[in-house]
Structure 1
Amino acid sequence: MIHHELRRKLESRVLPHVQTPAQYVGGERNIIVKDHRKLRGKIAVGFPDAYTIGMSHHGLQVLYSMINRRDDWCAERVFMPWPDMEAKLREHNLPLYTLETFTPLNEFDVIGLSLQYEISSPNVLTMVDLGGIPLDAVDRTMADPLLVAGGPCCQNPEPMADVFDVMVTGDGEPALPEVCELWLSLREEARLPDGTFVTGEEGRKQREDALARVAQQLAFAYVPRFYEPQYSDNNRIGSIVRTRDDVPETIAPSVISDLDGMPLPTEPIVPYVNCVHDRIAIEIMRGCPHLCRFCQSTVIKRPLRIREVDTIVDAALESYRSTGFNEISILSLSSSDYPHFAELVKRLHEVFVPLDVNISVPSLRVNDQLRTLPELL
């Protein structure tokens, strides 16, 4: 279900006047477009940075394909527009929209944004504002989408606590569907007989009670409005005080126990424009065996989990057939620590060299594997 009127306005008033308009029109190979009238729920999965950065993020492709495997939900993409595009949207009073159906953000049930680095925080504010959603979480009612954050920055949630309704800790694959389903049921409970929602102070209170139920039922969901940091004399957080007694004191991360059983996105979207990573990415391992104390990732990605060699090679070959990319990158915190590293690289070499496809092996630790890597490649 395409929003044709918004699309027509964009094509006539906006896109001819911005740089690289291809990043704003959707329609790429392997995108998934569904009829909203036949769905139970809709989520916009976004990355608070430019299209060329967000489309290079493997996690977005994972969540996009995972949600869209379901018949009753759709996932659509949204990214931060460049300043010229933002100015044109504001000039013509047009909302930020998703690339699949040109649907404004405020028409979705859930909006999920990935917080990978702190400097993307101002972009979050711009996207929420352009999407027609109140910036402060406490000003929203059940008529507004649920704003969810995930990613490493959720380990230090307070800088963005006023903006997000829920911040998810741990693995997103098992957590996001649970958040979506619970919020959809809470929204349906709150809906009036005519299909609308209560507004004003009563509507805000109703949303607060719904978010309390999210915090109570989902152990990995941090709802910032219910936790107040207490600062010490040196401006560090000394403690966190709950503002409601019925929400949990501690938050436990969401964890995938069987990474090998979690499907990989084997039909990734092929962008129209050059992106930072124009290649297929295959996650081979999550976590790291070394547990270095200075590394945040090794702490938040525990425990160590791997995918089997056959799973990786089959997914890489299927991804190549559906995209035509000429490079495959194996992805992990420390690829050379993958326990079957030599076998994996040898198998990938055997399969893809005849197809003129390069194998990229980033994230290498200086260890014995480096001695054999030139031979293997």
Structure 2
Amino acid sequence: MPQVQTPAQYLGGERNSVVKARESLKGRVCLATPDAYTIGMSNHGLQVLYDAVNRRADWACERVFAPWPDMERLLREHDVPLYSLETFTPLFEFDIVGFTLQYDLGYSNVLTILDLGRIPLHVTARRLDDPLIIAGGPCAENPEPMADFIDAFVIGDGEETLPAVADAWLEIRASAGSRSEALQALAARFPWLYVPSCYALEEHDGRLIPTARDDTIPQAVRPAVVADLDGIPLPPAPIVPLIRTVQD
């Protein structure tokens, strides 16, 4: 760590971060921010989703951020996979890795995180036991630029949808014969989930229009909306960053 700037951003152990015993869990989610720790930890939405999953005893939610170039270089030189801050678990060992897409300038960092985490970059290269790669946030409303790399996009609010996708993925994966079969079953279950591999793109008047490949898949994806925001609990004990963030 003396070889990198601001090493505290890679150490974890912040006040109010949650560490759970792996043997007591049904599944694990890693929330990935394709930007630096100092920016990602300023995102209140991250804290809300982190709390929403960790409120459940059978699931754990952990975090990862894009490393700065000096840390990326060391990870590659020493053949160390990118890890979560809570338990230092390599990303490829999670059930789900969920990206927040706040702006398109972060797209290349999505690929860096996947590559450093030893997860195949392309959807078509992943096996059934690889993590499900999902994405949400403002840029998920225009998913096609990242469609080759993201298994499923959550369109709309994530407070209720993330736990629902997590449970469904474990259930579907356990009985699916292939990853493509599992993704199709996932797409058929939720009207707010866009799974690019389940749609064909057709051009109409200069626009690309997704068309469902199967009758079980929603033709139109409808955004998830939390009807009662007051019913969504706020984190009672947000994580306190170890270093100064851009908005604290």
Does the TM-score normalized on the shorter chain lie above 0.5? yes
The percent of aligned pairs where both chains have the same amino acid is 54
CA RMSD of aligned residues (A): 1.3
2:162 to 143, 151, 176: 176
SS of structure 2 residue aligned to 1:229: strand
SS of structure 2 residue aligned to 1:17: coil
Quote the residue 2:222 is aligned against. 252
1:266 to 233, 236, 244: 236
Whether the aligned pair in 2 keeps the contact of 1:46 and 1:60 (CA below 8 Å) is no
**TM-score under structure 2 length normalisation:** 0.97
> Is residue 23 from structure 1 mapped to residue 9 from structure 2 by the alignment?
yes
Deviation at 1:228, TM superposition (A): 2.6
1:58 to 44, 66, 75: 44
> Is residue 209 from structure 1 mapped to residue 173 from structure 2 by the alignment?
no
Aligned partners of 2:209 and 2:155: how far apart in 1? 19
- The aligned runs of 1:44-83 (5 Å cut-off) are 44-83=30-69
For 1:138, the aligned partner's letter is T
> Is residue 221 from structure 1 mapped to residue 207 from structure 2 by the alignment?
no
Aligned partners of 1:187 and 1:251: how far apart in 2? 22
1:100 to 66, 73, 86: 86
Whether the aligned pair in 2 keeps the contact of 1:229 and 1:237 (CA below 8 Å) is no
Quote the residue 2:126 is aligned against. 140
SS of structure 1 residue aligned to 2:229: coil
> Is residue 118 from structure 1 mapped to residue 118 from structure 2 by the alignment?
no
Aligned partners of 1:74 and 1:37: how far apart in 2? 11
Quote the residue 1:154 is aligned against. 140
Aligned partners of 1:44 and 1:133: how far apart in 2? 13
Aligned partners of 2:204 and 2:50: how far apart in 1? 41
* CA shift digits 1:299-355 (9 cap, x unpaired): xxxxxxxxxxxxxxxxxxxxxxxxxxxxxxxxxxxxxxxxxxxxxxxxxxxxxxxxx
> Is residue 277 from structure 1 mapped to residue 242 from structure 2 by the alignment?
no
For 1:240, the aligned partner's letter is P
Deviation at 1:232, TM superposition (A): 5.8
Deviation at 1:93, TM superposition (A): 0.6
Whether the aligned pair in 2 keeps the contact of 1:175 and 1:254 (CA below 8 Å) is yes
Larger RCO (CA under 8 A, 6+ residues apart): 2
Aligned partners of 2:151 and 2:116: how far apart in 1? 18
User: Which structure 1 segments of 5+ residues have no match?
Assistant: 1-14, 191-202, 279-377
User: Which structure 2 segments of 5+ residues have no match?
Assistant: none
Aligned partners of 2:132 and 2:113: how far apart in 1? 14
Quote the residue 1:36 is aligned against. 22
Whether the aligned pair in 2 keeps the contact of 1:150 and 1:168 (CA below 8 Å) is yes
Whether the aligned pair in 2 keeps the contact of 1:147 and 1:164 (CA below 8 Å) is yes
SS of structure 2 residue aligned to 1:61: helix
* CA shift digits 1:139-187 (9 cap, x unpaired): 1111100001000111110000000011001110111111000001122
Whether the aligned pair in 1 keeps the contact of 2:172 and 2:186 (CA below 8 Å) is no
Aligned partners of 1:52 and 1:268: how far apart in 2? 15
For 1:127, the aligned partner's letter is I
Aligned partners of 1:237 and 1:84: how far apart in 2? 41
* CA shift digits 1:13-61 (9 cap, x unpaired): xx12111000000011111100111100100011110000000001100
Based on CA coordinates, which of the two structures has the bigger radius of gyration?
A: 1
* CA shift digits 1:69-122 (9 cap, x unpaired): 100000000000000100110001110100000000000001111001010000
Aligned partners of 2:39 and 2:207: how far apart in 1? 32
Indicate how the Cα distance of structure 1 residues 17 and 170 shifts in structure 2: closer, same or farther if over 3 A, else same. same
Whether the aligned pair in 2 keeps the contact of 1:23 and 1:273 (CA below 8 Å) is yes
**TM-score under structure 1 length normalisation:** 0.64
